[in-house]
Amino acid sequence: MRLQRWLYDHFRNVGTLCGFEEYDAPVLERQELYKRKAGEEITQQMYSFTDKEGVEVTLRPEMTPTLARMVLGKAQSLMLPLKWYSVPQCWRFETTQRGRKREHYQWNMDIIGCKGINAEVELLAAIVLFFKNIGITSKDIGLKINSRKVMGAVLKSMGVTDEQFAPVCVVMDKFDKIGPEETQKELRDTQGLDADTAKKLVDCLLCKSVDDLAALCGEGVDRSGVDELKRLFELADAYGFGDWLVFDASVVRGLAYYTGVVFEGFDRLGELRAICGGGRYDRLLSLYGAVQEVPACGFGFGDCVVVELLKDKGITPVLPKEVDFVVAAFNEGMQGSAMKTAAALREGGAQVDLLLEPKKKVTQTFDYANRVGARYMVFVAPQEWESGKVRIKDLRLGEDVPDEEKQLDVALDDLVKVKEVLEQWALTKKMGAVKV
């Protein structure tokens, strides 16, 4: 949980730093929301059941349809563009493997209501900021970029219809896993493409640059997607993260709803599954009933692969248990006074672990404080208590420091502002040392 909290704090911090607002939603959704006909894997991986009212529900496999539903539900009252983030738990009945689990948390950032490529660049900037914040560089990670708009134009020029486009993309997305032969076979068998078109489509996936891909379009084909992609790379340079981006025509993404730029985070060593992925989905809200097209784009970033990456790099953060104070009563008779002490310290914002059963030996109390990572020990003993004080001992000072310099008697009334008192004490000791 400490590692999880650390990671999610970083997710949320980036969301906030980029001016996004956090949202959440129920984990249970109507199955209907995920009924798409393009043959996406995700629709076959759901944990679904019929509830006691006979409604077919499912544990969400992803957040995007939920977000679309929420935005539509509030369409009248929301000011676009929306910039929203969330860290939802998602379920997919997948074959579990390194970086893929049946239950995962997925950081999502989405922008609703912005047509232009600036939105995609903003999302990519957020991903890069996150990586930098956790110590990962562009040498470890790259972001593969492609555009379904460009793919769409190319495919159209090869005779693939608008209706065929989404399911064809879902098949093309398997290219990495099943290779060129199988992809062509599946395009022929399941999408009814002729052998020549299937081969040409697979050739598209191997294009090395935006221009190569555009060249396949030929004359008279919509080039707006190409211009957009070029602008995206320019803006990424302007933003200062151009070195993270790589054009890759084989990234089409396995979800049917993407319509424009698509992207995926990958490890440069090629050992891990996709780290994150997203893109533009301008028609998803219309699919759910929006009267006009609502431009949208976003990404999902799981909590599993990134942890594997940190492990491989040897930079998983060391996050020991820590607490400011252990409060220990001298004996059972002093337990009430120890409780009063703990209450005052907590009121002042300190983290306090109250020892519940006074130990027989002082060394056992210190062992306990050590185990829970306490910075200070507060002894609540009759002698100080009678003069309205408790004894605080700094546990991080070394053996070489004499005991009387490690401890301070603090008045009960000062416990609520103990942090100030201790800072002042540390300062006085430092000044004393300078004088010597």
Cβ atoms 393, 377 nearer than 8 A? yes
Residue 274 or 328 with smaller CB distance to ligand HAM: 274
Residue 100 or 199 with smaller CB distance to ligand HAM: 100
Give kind and range of the element (H or E) at residue 137.
none
Cβ atoms 346, 300 nearer than 8 A? no
* Position among 274, 326, 345, 408 found at the interface with ligand HAM (CB under 6 A): 274
Instruction: Map residues 24-63 to x or -, x wherever contact with ligand HAM holds by CB under 6 A.
Output: --------------------------------------xx
- The answer to whether 64 contacts ligand HAM (rule: CB under 6 A) is yes
Contact stretch for ligand HAM (CB under 6 A) within 24-32, 127-135, 268-276, 307-315 = 268-276
- The answer to whether 276 contacts ligand HAM (rule: CB under 6 A) is yes
List alpha helices for 192-240, DSSP H. Answer: 195-205, 210-215, 224-239
The distance of closest approach from Cβ of residue 74 to ligand HAM in the complex, given in angstroms and rounded to an integer, is 18
Contact stretch for ligand HAM (CB under 6 A) within 75-83, 219-227, 274-282, 363-371 = 274-282
Residue 57 exposed, middle or buried by CB count within 10 Å (0-12, 13-18, 19+): buried
Distance of CA 401 to the CA centre of its chain: 44
The distance of closest approach from Cβ of residue 430 to ligand HAM in the complex, given in angstroms and rounded to an integer, is 48
The distance of closest approach from Cβ of residue 216 to ligand HAM in the complex, given in angstroms and rounded to an integer, is 26
Instruction: Map residues 294-323 to x or -, x wherever contact with ligand HAM holds by CB under 6 A.
Output: ----xxxxx-xx------------------
Name which of 131, 130, 127 is nearest 139 in CA terms.
131
The distance of closest approach from Cβ of residue 42 to ligand HAM in the complex, given in angstroms and rounded to an integer, is 6
Residue 100 or 156 with smaller CB distance to ligand HAM: 100
3-state helix vs strand vs coil in the chain, percent to 5:
45, 20, 35
Cα 251 from Cα 176, distance rounded (Å): 9
Cα 75 from Cα 242, distance rounded (Å): 35
* Position among 101, 115, 185, 359 found at the interface with ligand HAM (CB under 6 A): 101
Cβ atoms 213, 92 nearer than 8 A? no
Counting DSSP H helices and E strands in the chain, the numbers are 16, 17
* Position among 92, 144, 149, 200 found at the interface with ligand HAM (CB under 6 A): 92
* DSSP tag of 79: P
Contact stretch for ligand HAM (CB under 6 A) within 69-77, 271-279, 336-344, 423-431 = 271-279
Q: How many residues bind ligand HAM (CB under 6 A)?
A: 24
- The answer to whether 126 contacts ligand HAM (rule: CB under 6 A) is no
* Residue 260: Cβ within 10 Å count: 24
Chain position whose Cβ is nearest to ligand HAM: 302
Four-point Cα dihedral 78, 82, 84, 90, nearest 10: 80
* Position among 36, 60, 104, 144 found at the interface with ligand HAM (CB under 6 A): 104
- Chain residues binding ligand HAM by CB under 6 A are 62-64, 92, 94, 100-101, 104, 106, 108, 110, 255, 274-278, 298-302, 304-305
